[in-house]
A and B are shown apart, each in its own frame.
Chain A
């Protein structure tokens, strides 16, 4: 189809603001999905996504829309992930679009991540169609939030669409607005092929399916193509469109959105942001904006049953086929055995990976406290990158430590301004500015260490603002910090799984929290067990698990030796399942409990 009749749009919205429901309505209204085939949240493929009500992987769908002017338009709807961890993927989805639908819950107003994505869209020069959803809800305040949206994007409150994706009210008008207000793409059909990969998923039957938008030129089935960033050269086995099921076509023209299957088996060879060109008529330059996925959060993941290590390796290998951002390498811990140090885009990404490992591969896992990546300069002028606290050299060898910082944006009702500032200040935040969205809502900017955010910052923010504040952040480079490693020792033996890097001012609190927590988790043994927290050789906190005094059955009733033996065999089996740290027997549950991140602010 000619470019004039094409529109590619994305919906940017906060989790739960109704993006998937709106997509469903658009599919139905354009007849893309028959009423009979409709199921809720059609575009979210994985069970996990459906259950959590969020979209992890972007999907796209083509809709043919007959407008009021009698002409038929091809509208490509590109779904975007809604979480801070996937900001880069969002940016690539937006780069494949001509305009965006800014979808905001009329009862809640705009949230921080949506704001970030809106700024991205505005910076990319995309037409923004503002929409308030859920106007059917009793709590909806469309007037108030229309004002807010209008001010944000520099338009009038009357221009803000008011819809209910659930009932379908106002959705038909939206389709007209897309055709009228969003400009068609402006690619060069005669230039060499340049198609932007805006999503890439692994399918166990078909291999990698790359979703792309043809920016310049055209792509034909069976053509030899090249991925310009990775340098991979393959044949386009199949190209097609999503209508919404994968439907092969012989070619995709300039401006069209479709998919490509090429025999590639791993998503990291067909990465989001890469540019596809033809092998024999290469484009001179790839499309701008490609970034390597950069892991920001690291954690050790261990099987609870040591025998499951090979299963965990296989599972990670399989997940990586589908997740270019997941990195891992084997590591071993004296406390936890053999496992992997994994790198994630963020906490949600970590949670998703862990949940998929447990759910899809039936593994029971234990994760260490999350950590960030540190740059360490040694007194010998050598530089190190450390992802695991145990790799941190002795304090005496360290010249300086840099840690990653992030620009944090919090959007909150003004009532909670002080609360939010106090929280950020307490996490070593540095106020960068504030912007009032309306008299009731404010956007607050802080620069903060990422390491402070990964310890339950989000949960604290939510609970201290009764759920009203929202958070977004993006990487803001490395900065030197006064950091120390706190070790935890059981009976003078360091337990690597509990070592953490924290700011010097917080070391004491961390040490105290961990030793107190472990004192409650470690069962009494045959001798006193000192639990210490230490920085290098300096002990900063100490607790003792007193030796147990009684562990004996009173009698053997009526000669029932069998029962007594079974009792002791069970006790022996219990011992076998414990981890031996020096002479101390530590139950698995103690590690799991101690490493749980909880609300008192310490990693645990």
Chain B
């Protein structure tokens, strides 16, 4: 099947109807866990680095899933760069040997500014990575401090510069906005700073106070003010304005890119594509089956050592569930979704049932329809959940 539910772009910026196949690799280690973070990551497990890399490589070696070569690979964390470039390179090599990686593939690794310098970038490029996603978060010192980030603004910018010097051609700056410590000027300065530093892609995420995080406790007990949705909506609008002016296009709720620099791996998620996931708590999806592996690094390692499955759970979606899910995902993309493609893939029934609601939302200006493409109106971007849940 060569039909895609949303257009994706190849690395050269061309539209492609081929959704591709992604691989996600999770590195669940951090030097220091940020108080807002609810990701699957752990401090103080340095002793597990080596066994974990061994387990990842072994798990990849025994992979018997989809055989098409990967069009995108994403090493996320945690802090993947806590591992040595050689270790990351070893995992990438195992993937290349097992699933294959297309020559044009986008191969990203998340980078924490304080763990990298020019030689590290050079080593990572040599290992085969061609895209770096740098966790800058903010260029305002008091915001970084509030967020509990241990790097300075200068160090973050220096990481971008070092990557460039090492020859990296595809850089993403990860930013967080709308934190309680941020003043309007801080956000503008952070945007200006990363634009000036020559980033190709910006992921800007509204700070979310997730339950179970230390930040949640701080907010619940009144020691830190809660985030303000109105302020965050305002900051999103500011980001959109600044980034567009600098030649970026927003292709997803929280992602902007220079032409041809949209993250293929990111788009894959939102277009309901197939991807494998390796490592603790990694998620995978192939043709309506979603599954995830053991969350704890030691459980993941033990499963591999025991030659047992690392799978901790799964769900099977039939067409009547996949259709609405494709809507849910695709509407996050600026392009929206191609209803005619959905019809072919998942049948007409679920769309017929949702027609009145879609019509109502189009009439009230919250959705836009042109031809068979359905998308959120610009003003609906930051209201996506409220609109999308009506279509589930």
Q: State the A residues within 8 Å of B (CB).
A: 526-527, 548-562, 564-565, 567-569, 571-572, 575
B39 interface hit (Cβ, 8 Å): yes
Using a Cβ–Cβ cut-off of 8 Å, how many residues does chain B contribute to the interface with A? 47
Contacts beyond the supplied A548-B229, A549-B230, A552-B253: 13 A-B pairs with Cβ under 8 Å: A526-B366, A526-B383, A549-B382, A549-B383, A550-B206, A552-B383, A555-B254, A556-B270, A559-B269, A564-B328, A569-B389, A571-B385, A575-B389
Q: In the complex, A559 Cα to B283 Cα: how many Å?
A: 6
Query: Are B290 and A552 within 8 A (Cβ)?
Result: no
Closest to A564 in B: B328
Question: What are 24 A-B pairs with beta-carbon distances under 8 A?
Answer: A526-B366, A548-B229, A549-B229, A550-B229, A550-B232, A550-B236, A551-B382, A552-B253, A553-B385, A555-B254, A557-B39, A558-B283, A561-B285, A561-B325, A561-B329, A562-B290, A562-B292, A565-B328, A568-B392, A569-B392, A571-B389, A572-B389, A572-B390, A575-B390
Residues of B within 8 A of A548 (CB): 229, 383, 386
> Shortest beta-carbon distance, A529 to chain B, in Å?
14
> Shortest beta-carbon distance, A572 to chain B, in Å?
4
Query: Are B76 and A558 within 8 A (Cβ)?
Result: yes
Closest to B392 in A: A572
Closest to A553 in B: B385
Against A, the Cβ 8 Å flags (1 = close, 0 = not) of B10-30 are 000000000000101010000
Which one, B230, B253, B282, B315, contacts A558 given CB within 8 A? B282
**Chain B 274-289 interface residues, beta-carbon cutoff 8 Å to A:** 275, 277, 281-285
Q: In the complex, A568 Cα to B253 Cα: how many Å?
A: 16
- SS class of chain B's interface: helix, strand, loop or mixed? mixed
Query: Are A562 and B283 within 8 A (Cβ)?
Result: yes
B233 interface hit (Cβ, 8 Å): yes
Using known A-B contacts A551-B229, A552-B253, A552-B383, determine if residue A560 contacts B366 with beta carbons closer than 8 Å: no
Closest to A525 in B: B386
Which one, A527, A553, A556, contacts B269 given CB within 8 A? A556
**Chain B 40-60 interface residues, beta-carbon cutoff 8 Å to A:** 40
Residues of A within 8 A of B373 (CB): none
Q: In the complex, A571 Cα to B383 Cα: how many Å?
A: 13
B109 interface hit (Cβ, 8 Å): no
B381 interface hit (Cβ, 8 Å): yes
B388 interface hit (Cβ, 8 Å): yes
Which one, A527, A549, A553, A568, contacts B208 given CB within 8 A? A553
Q: With a 10 A CB-CB cut-off, give which of A526, A550, A567 has the most chain B CB atoms.
A: A550
Closest to B279 in A: A558
Q: State the B residues within 8 Å of A (CB).
A: 22, 24, 26, 39-40, 76, 203, 205-208, 229-230, 232-234, 236, 253-254, 269-270, 275, 277, 281-285, 290, 292, 315, 325, 328-329, 364, 366, 381-390, 392
Query: Closest 7 interchain pairs by CB?
Result: A549-B233, A550-B229, A554-B205, A572-B389, A559-B283, A552-B384, A550-B233
Closest to A573 in B: B389
Query: Are B230 and A526 within 8 A (Cβ)?
Result: no
Q: In the complex, A564 Cα to B384 Cα: how many Å?
A: 12
Residues of A within 8 A of B382 (CB): 549-552
Residues of A within 8 A of B206 (CB): 550, 552, 554
Query: Are B275 and A554 within 8 A (Cβ)?
Result: no
Q: In the complex, A549 Cα to B230 Cα: how many Å?
A: 5
> Shortest beta-carbon distance, B233 to chain A, in Å?
4
Query: Are B277 and A568 within 8 A (Cβ)?
Result: no
> Shortest beta-carbon distance, B40 to chain A, in Å?
8
Closest to B315 in A: A562
Residues of A within 8 A of B236 (CB): 550
> Shortest beta-carbon distance, B257 to chain A, in Å?
15
Q: With a 10 A CB-CB cut-off, give which of B40, B233, B388 has the most chain A CB atoms.
A: B388
Closest to B229 in A: A550
Query: Are A551 and B385 within 8 A (Cβ)?
Result: yes
Q: In the complex, A560 Cα to B282 Cα: how many Å?
A: 8
Residues of A within 8 A of B383 (CB): 526, 548-552
Q: In the complex, A488 Cα to B344 Cα: how many Å?
A: 48
Closest to B40 in A: A558
> Shortest beta-carbon distance, A185 to chain B, in Å?
70
Residues of B within 8 A of A567 (CB): 385
Query: Are A551 and B208 within 8 A (Cβ)?
Result: no
Query: Are A558 and B389 within 8 A (Cβ)?
Result: no
Query: Are B232 and A568 within 8 A (Cβ)?
Result: no
Which one, A554, A561, A572, contacts B283 given CB within 8 A? A561
